[in-house]
Structure 1
Amino acid sequence: MITGSCLCGDIRFETDAEPLGPSMCHCGQCRKQSGGIWSSAYVRDADLSITGPVSWFEASPQAKRGFCARCGSYLFWKAHDEDTTSFALGAVTAPTGLKVEKHIFVRDKGDFYEIADGVPQKD
């Protein structure tokens, strides 16, 4: 069981499913919304239970981002044409048992850090 919440606890989520695709996103939108790199994994929508007042921001024509309007925690990423939702690994109650499999959008990464963990990188 994976459980998590926002900083203030108004929004909680859980899944019994095995999370897929643990990754670190370096895109400009994730950097601006999270203040750095956003780490996430995803499960099918049917396998994710979310309680609380998620606010959704239409970040692009392809996807929306879910956050807590009270504390500002950025929790979810959802493509409009997929039946999965990504959730923030930083919001998960430890231990997660997960290992990052890839870095994505590394072409957009900030110039103030290097990626040196040996995990595969995708432009």
Structure 2
Amino acid sequence: MATGRCLCGGVRYEIAGEVAQPIACHCSQCARTSGNFVAMAACNSANLRLSVSETLSWYQSSEGVQRGFCSRCGGNLFWKAVPGMETYIKLGTLDRPTGLRLSEHIYVGSKSDFYDLTDGLPQKHEW
């Protein structure tokens, strides 16, 4: 079981079941919510249990997409399509060790100009 939380602990979660191989998203929305690209991994939404959610807020960032964050510390925790069966967990919020490795980069056509991608992983212009 994987566990995680935001910086202040106002949101804590557990994931029962498998977590997909992580991706790095370079879209402008992820950059604006995190300050950079975002590494995230999907899990079945039914397997995600919130053990503490007193400060969890959801923001509809575009049609059919919600982003979950902590309203106290600003921690960027979740991304999900609505309706949908998966929730993407922001990897920086997982407790370590995660045992996960990035598998690919998406939305590289939107990536910022202040860094290069040199890790040799597959790159998709969009998703």
What SS does the corresponding residue of 1:8 show, helix, strand or coil? coil
Look up the match of 1:63. 65
| CA RMSD across the alignment | 0.9
In 2: Cα distance, 1:58 partner to 1:16 partner:
26
| Identity among equivalent pairs (%) | 45
Look up the match of 2:88. 86
Look up the match of 1:96. 98
In 2: Cα distance, 1:13 partner to 1:121 partner:
30
In 2: Cα distance, 1:49 partner to 1:16 partner:
8
In 1: Cα distance, 2:86 partner to 2:32 partner:
23
Residues 3 and 12, structure 2, Cα contact 8 Å, conserved in 1: yes
Residue-by-residue CA offset, 1:8-32 (whole Å, 9 max, x unaligned): 0010111121101411110000001
Deviates more, 1:79-88 or 1:66-75: 79-88
What amino acid maps onto 2:16 in structure 1? D
Number of equivalent positions = 123
> Which of 68, 74, 77 is matched with 1:75 structurally?
77
Task: Please report how far the alpha carbon of residue 81 of structure 1 lies from its aligned counterpart in structure 2 after TM superposition.
Answer: 2.7
What SS does the corresponding residue of 2:14 show, helix, strand or coil? strand
Look up the match of 1:110. 112
In 2: Cα distance, 1:117 partner to 1:16 partner:
30
Unaligned 5+ segments in structure 1 are none
Deviates more, 1:17-26 or 1:3-12: 17-26
Task: Please report how far the alpha carbon of residue 86 of structure 1 lies from its aligned counterpart in structure 2 after TM superposition.
Answer: 0.4
In 2: Cα distance, 1:59 partner to 1:34 partner:
13
